[in-house]
Homo-oligomer: A and B are copies of this chain.
Amino acid sequence: MTEPAMTEPMSPDQLEAALRAIGRERYHDRHPFHGLLHGGKLDRGQVQAWALNRFYYQSRIPLKDAALISRTEDPALRREWRRRIEDHDGDHEGDGGIARWLHLTDALGLDRAAVSDGRGILPATRFAVDAYVRFVREKTLLEAIASSLTELFAPAIIGNRVAGMLAHYDFVSPEALSYFDKRLTQAPRDSDFALDYVRREARRPDQQQDVMAALTFKCDVLWAQLDALHHAYVAPGHIPPGAFVPEGRG
C-alpha cells in the first residue's frame, strides 16, 4: 500500500467540496455525446437512439428507489424517498416522469411498445443501469444514498439540454421535453436531502471514502451509457447486433 493512511475525517464542508469536485470532473455533462446532442449536431435517428436507451435508465429508477426504501428502518427517510417513486410513476396512468419520457419518444416517432419493452437498446445500457440498481440493493444505505448525488449536477445540464435541443432540432417541441421541466424542481429538492444526509452521516474517513466512491461509480454509470451511444451511433458508428437501427442506416 503506497497510499498514505487517511487518519483525519474531512469536515462536512470539505466532504461536500470533494463531492462537487468529482462532479466537475466526471459528470456526464462533459461527455462529447452531450455536446453533440445539445449543440444540434445529431440527426433524428441519433436522438432517437439516445431517447430509447435513456428510457431504460428512467424505467429502472423507481426500482432503484424502492430497493433503497426496502432497506431503511426509518419511516421519515422512507417517506422522503417515496417522493422519488411518486415523481417517476405518478399517481395514475399517463402521469409521472416515466410517462413524460414517453412523450419524448412518441414525439421522436418511436414505437411506444418497443420503447417500453427496451427493444433494441444497447447491451451496455442494460449492463450499466442494472449495475446501478444492484449497487443500491447491495451496498450500504449510505452508499446507496450517495449514489443519487449526481442530481446535484443535473439542473445545469437540463437547462443546456432543453435550450439546445429546442434551438437546434425541429423535431423536438417543448411538450416533448416536459420531463425535464419537472426535474428542474425535483432534482434540487432530492439532491439537497441526499447531500444533507451524506454530510451528516459520513463522519468517519472510511465512510467518506465510500461516499466519494459511490458518486464516482454513479458518474461511471451515466458516462458508460453515453460511451455506448457514441460508439454505436456517432459516425462511423458500430451498431451492435440486435440494437436499434435508425432509418437509412444499417
Interface size class of A (residues with CB under 8 A): 20 to 34
* Residues on the B chain within 8 Å of A66, using CB: 66-70, 78
A78 to B82, CA, bound (A): 12
Task: Identify A79's interface contact among B59, B63, B79, B90, CB under 8 A.
Answer: B90
Nearest neighbor of A82 in chain B, beta-carbon distance? B85
Binary interface encoding of chain A residues 59-75 relative to chain B, with 1 for a CB under 8 A from any of its CBs, else 0: 10011101111111101
* Residues on the B chain within 8 Å of A85, using CB: 69, 78, 82
**Min C-beta distance of A41 to chain B, whole Å:** 33
> Do A70 and B73 touch (CB < 8 A)?
no
**Min C-beta distance of A93 to chain B, whole Å:** 6
Q: Does A91 contact B (CB under 8 A)?
A: yes
A92 to B75, CA, bound (A): 9
Copies of chain A in the complex: 2
* Residues on the B chain within 8 Å of A99, using CB: 75
> Do A63 and B71 touch (CB < 8 A)?
yes
**Min C-beta distance of A73 to chain B, whole Å:** 7
> Do A92 and B73 touch (CB < 8 A)?
no
Q: Mark out the residues of chain A between 89 and 133 whose CB falls within 8 Å of any chain B CB in the assembled complex.
A: 89-93, 96, 98-99
> Do A98 and B82 touch (CB < 8 A)?
no
A90 to B79, CA, bound (A): 8
A72 to B62, CA, bound (A): 9
Q: Does A86 contact B (CB under 8 A)?
A: yes
Q: Does A34 contact B (CB under 8 A)?
A: no
Task: Identify A98's interface contact among B59, B71, B75, CB under 8 A.
Answer: B75
**Min C-beta distance of A147 to chain B, whole Å:** 15
* Residues on the B chain within 8 Å of A89, using CB: 75, 78-79, 82
* Residues on the B chain within 8 Å of A59, using CB: 73
Q: Does A54 contact B (CB under 8 A)?
A: no
Closest 9 CB pairs of A and B: A66-B70, A66-B69, A67-B70, A66-B66, A75-B89, A63-B70, A78-B89, A79-B89, A70-B70
